[in-house]
Structure 1
Amino acid sequence: HITIVNYLLNYYPALEVDKRDPRGLTALMKAAVQGRQDCVAALLLAGADLRAVDAVKGK
């Protein structure tokens, strides 16, 4: 996963890191839930919103 995340972050500078999927989750939320610490770190360094909240569950 980290290889793909790094590729997207490095080669697509206009990438919207806080874009939400149909369920309202961001890439950062998904990475955190799955325990992908490397992806979480990369997304945070890219400016992902640490305070984003899942509108359905409020987490």
Structure 2
Amino acid sequence: MTEHEKFESLLNKAGISRQELARRMGMQYTSVTNQLAPAKPLPKWAKSILIFVELLEEKQKEK
């Protein structure tokens, strides 16, 4: 699974749309959509979210 696919899966799992993500981050929806375009590398802010979630999941498995 690509990083883009992982990020989309994470949004779906959280039940949040790109529009809602943009609103909560204080960004324009078009900016978020542009930054998350599959033809571009995943932005660092999105990568950091993936890393954080992966670390949380690892911690949960250890329990």
Structure 1 or 2, whichever has the larger Rg, is: 2
Using structure 1 for the length normalisation, give the TM-score: 0.30
Give me the TM-score of the superposition, normalised by structure 2: 0.29
More helix by share: 2
